[in-house]
Structure 1
């Protein structure tokens, strides 16, 4: 059969599927071009970036349409509802084009792509987020009419297409372009080429491919080259973040030594005399924060917010641009000696490419065959390093203990305090009916070992007479859950309840008296405390952080940012406002069950401003 002849009835739906996917691909490129033009990128981007943008955008939406509309086709054919196929495709096209058109307005304003949570805030926010004037409503209606007309014209034209050859060629071009764009992005990502890595950020729903480990295994790149590229990005200032907003102006300050003593996966309620006797005794002589939160339920976001003063949503931008933490760069500018000593690798998550990317000679892999050994070596290495520092030179140290995260401790009577404990952990046994007591006992034994390591460090500081001019911060990246709320949540990374995001915080600050602080604080508050007081930075806090000085009880927020791998949210005193996996606002109580209060938070305009403040 020649391609100029009409197709059979059985082939027509397949041709319509391909045509529909091509149509959506073309529309997505056109609307994407409007968005990058609004951002002023059309003139700034090279022809190659524009080609990459077109290939990724068109290819992505070609694949999305091919899969989703293809499933609709199969479902309707299964139920012999073939006559509904064009209608289903038209409805899908209408929704996709409306979404893309709306995103061309939203992204240039907020530097975040449109999602269901933003729609909820728009239509249910009582005008606090977006208010609609009469001209605006008329304009929206006009867009809907135009979109409907374009779709109608497409389907009218699609009826006249009788061959598949040219359609197949275009479809193949879209698919190959998408594959090429993903592979090239992966290559650009491993080489920190921000001309490439910043392109997919402008595309809604983009999930570009990363292949670092594949390239390393194939011998195409090595870790040393990756680190060198990271340093180059910082040197030429090609990050995709404007962070800080203005260069820091720092002079004077108290120039105390600073030591962060962090225990991975340490819950807030472990700071007790029976579990952590050494740290507990130390807390009674210093400042204890009883209502303190990490800004993430995982290591990546918790530590990132600590060193940057920014919400975890900036992680991806920091990673693609190899943007270091403002705390580290400010300390480097002040000529501090900096030592990082971790019991776990610093490339999982990629701290060597983000918060610590400006540190030359950073040790990525810890010493030791297991976390118990690695923690011990981390403390020993800190002590050796500290003794190598010349008298009078300030230092910043970060000791990150990993044994609690691994639930590991030496099998000695000294640490087998809590019994019976789970000796052979099998996560497959965990369920809502599983008794958490032995598992929690094992965890507490690991905490007891970490407590001893903390005590070793504190004794060392005392012996070297460093306490009078050293700030010591003891805390954690996140907590850990043992099915506390009977919803079958174990470990961390699953929700934003207190067991997973509330952590202990003890600060020894020379000259400050011991006390308990009960107002709400978070890791975001450490950077805006240290920079002005220790380094004498005079910039407004908003130049580099969304937190505030941890010593200020006035005008504090009654909510904190929290981030997860696929969730973001805000912890309030009596509920958790979640942006869930579907991109919708969800209102939960403090046990992660549906909350009766469904009101849109009145702080959302502030959130939207802060989430775009440091983006270029």
Structure 2
């Protein structure tokens, strides 16, 4: 008896073979579309980073398409009665998948995010640009994709016998497997070593969840979590960074400006509510006699706020500026005007941001002794006494005793523990306030007092679990306890005032650039903030964040968005609102602000 080839087993076998080849050519198509992600992302600067990108590109799309075939099309092969129906279903599914992939590349190009329900809403409901009009044109290509998939299906079916004799399936399968496994192994090592050129690519492709093993390696003694965290803090991500377009236009200045002196006093970890007659009587007296912005927010809940203070930009730009070696326009102009620099710190500028981004021209003197606030103030006094009226100066004094109030971590969240740590903290604040009295007295007694700008603020706040989320210290959430800080300004010939409108660290740069240095360039060309003297109206939102997250703070809630486009909404007491959805216009404005100073991809 001659086998007609029409048995159920023969049909299934032929459809399986066809499905493999149909998936293979769709993998190639997906990889070609995936090059758009590579084109819209910064190119890795190291060979290992480039190797990982290529392996991840091959392995990820190979796994994504073939995995979808195994989970969806392969089971359908056994239950679909007709090979024609099976092929039509496959073509429809492949068309939908490729269309979604194209839409995702468009979302990544414009928002640097992959499609989520939030991003989908943003694309559909964006009223401030023509994004929603443009992306709808992509649906014009859906019939074209369908016809191409239909043609591919028919061609593979007719050429199935010839393709089966090519004997290339195994080499390709091995190639995809090696690329997939290799990319995940490289990322596992990179994540454990904080190797930025690789870890910075974790969100390049959609549905990408590269393997990590930090907990496993830490448990078995292969890595030290504290040392790794310190390495990340000191060195940043070190990954590929996009080309900067900063400033957006050349910065120009008026021909005549007053040569004011500038004194910035940074008190590490000083909360806004410590500004009272009990904890800080000297600082409170200074606030009453000068400008007091009592609704002021830091740019971050960690040291990246220092970047926001000098550059007027959110923390997501930190690593790009670190690698681009772009100096703050404030310091650039002070150098150009030959200002005398005096930089002093109670911890000898322990934060890597100072030496790697902010003060990169060798202004920080190497200390030969272990520093503390008392020694820093003493050195500042010696330096200040040597300044003359004919040469303008800039001084930066950082006091760190408040942040070092207690090195031990709390062991519980009981009221006793909370009160103990907060009591120790406030004692450190009171001690620092007493030390500040001598600094302020020295400044006021100077003959140059009326031509000296004095700014007193903090890098971030300090929490003692007020949000009842087991959050202590800083860098754990974006509540007001970790973000609200004092902002006190003495400005020559400006009357004392209590300003209650919301303000931000991002506002200091445009304030100094316009009111102190006399720039004629609009603030939005070099900053995300606005002039502190122009804040006559309450703004709709403030921007804070770090390298991985942004926080949009409004009068009623805080929206935290991560690098994958996922968001969480909190009320004014930082309680999670699980069913609350943020305004899309608010999100669009915030996300757009995070991309303004990167070179647009053509």
Smaller-chain TM-score bracket: 0.7 to 0.9
Match of 2:400 in 1: 402
Match of 1:376 in 2: 374
Structure-2 separation of matches of 1:349 and 1:153:
61
Structure 1 position 465 matched with structure 2 position 447: yes
Indicate the RMSD between aligned Cα atoms, in angstroms: 5.0
SS in 1 for 2:277: coil
SS in 2 for 1:350: helix
Residues 531-540 or 564-573, more deviating: 564-573
Relative to structure 1, is the Cα distance of residues 173 and 435 closer, same or farther in structure 2, using a 3 angstrom cutoff? Answer: closer
The equivalences for 1:160-171 within 5 A come to 164=170, 167-169=173-175, 171=177
Contact 1:117 1:583 (C-alpha < 8 Å) held by counterparts: no
Contact 2:99 2:142 (C-alpha < 8 Å) held by counterparts: no
Match of 1:309 in 2: 312
Relative to structure 1, is the Cα distance of residues 95 and 287 closer, same or farther in structure 2, using a 3 angstrom cutoff? Answer: farther
Structure 1 position 323 matched with structure 2 position 326: yes
Relative to structure 1, is the Cα distance of residues 114 and 277 closer, same or farther in structure 2, using a 3 angstrom cutoff? Answer: same
Match of 2:54 in 1: 58
Write out per-residue CA displacement over residues 162-191 of structure 1, whole angstroms, 9 at most, x where no aligned residue: 87455335644676688889999999x99x
Match of 1:138 in 2: 139
From 240, 256, 259, the equivalent of 2:243 is: 240
Structure-2 separation of matches of 1:492 and 1:547:
23
Contact 1:524 1:547 (C-alpha < 8 Å) held by counterparts: yes
Structure-1 separation of matches of 2:154 and 2:351:
51
Contact 2:559 2:570 (C-alpha < 8 Å) held by counterparts: yes
Contact 2:295 2:484 (C-alpha < 8 Å) held by counterparts: yes
Structure 1 position 567 matched with structure 2 position 549: yes
From 257, 270, 277, the equivalent of 2:274 is: 270
Structure 1 position 257 matched with structure 2 position 255: no
The equivalences for 1:341-360 within 5 A come to 341-344=344-347, 346=349, 348-357=351-360, 359-360=361-362
Match of 2:593 in 1: 610
From 352, 358, 362, the equivalent of 2:364 is: 362
Match of 1:482 in 2: 464
Structure-2 separation of matches of 1:474 and 1:464:
18
Runs of 5+ unmatched residues, structure 1: 1-14, 191-195, 210-222, 231-237, 409-423
- Give how far 1:264 is off: 1.3
Contact 2:245 2:597 (C-alpha < 8 Å) held by counterparts: yes
Structure-2 separation of matches of 1:394 and 1:455:
23
- Give how far 1:602 is off: 2.7
- Give how far 1:601 is off: 4.5
Relative to structure 1, is the Cα distance of residues 481 and 144 closer, same or farther in structure 2, using a 3 angstrom cutoff? Answer: farther
Relative to structure 1, is the Cα distance of residues 96 and 271 closer, same or farther in structure 2, using a 3 angstrom cutoff? Answer: farther
Structure-2 separation of matches of 1:20 and 1:182:
32
Q: For the pair shown, which has the larger CA radius of gyration, 1 or 2? A: 2
- Give how far 1:605 is off: 4.0
Structure-1 separation of matches of 2:515 and 2:151:
60
Write out per-residue CA displacement over residues 204-235 of structure 1, whole angstroms, 9 at most, x where no aligned residue: 579999xxxxxxxxxxxxx9xx99xx9xxxxx
The equivalences for 1:156-305 within 5 A come to 164=170, 167-169=173-175, 171-172=177-178, 203-204=204-205, 240-250=243-253, 251-300=255-304, 302-305=305-308
Structure-2 separation of matches of 1:336 and 1:267:
31
- Give how far 1:71 is off: 10
Contact 2:553 2:559 (C-alpha < 8 Å) held by counterparts: yes
- Give how far 1:350 is off: 3.2
Structure-1 separation of matches of 2:128 and 2:22:
38
Runs of 5+ unmatched residues, structure 2: 1-16, 80-89, 213-230
Match of 2:506 in 1: 524
Relative to structure 1, is the Cα distance of residues 492 and 100 closer, same or farther in structure 2, using a 3 angstrom cutoff? Answer: farther
Write out per-residue CA displacement over residues 100-146 of structure 1, whole angstroms, 9 at most, x where no aligned residue: 53353344445x34363761542574655643479626336458748
- Give how far 1:508 is off: 0.8
Contact 1:288 1:506 (C-alpha < 8 Å) held by counterparts: yes
Structure-1 separation of matches of 2:24 and 2:562:
31
Relative to structure 1, is the Cα distance of residues 273 and 36 closer, same or farther in structure 2, using a 3 angstrom cutoff? Answer: same
Residues 588-597 or 523-532, more deviating: 588-597
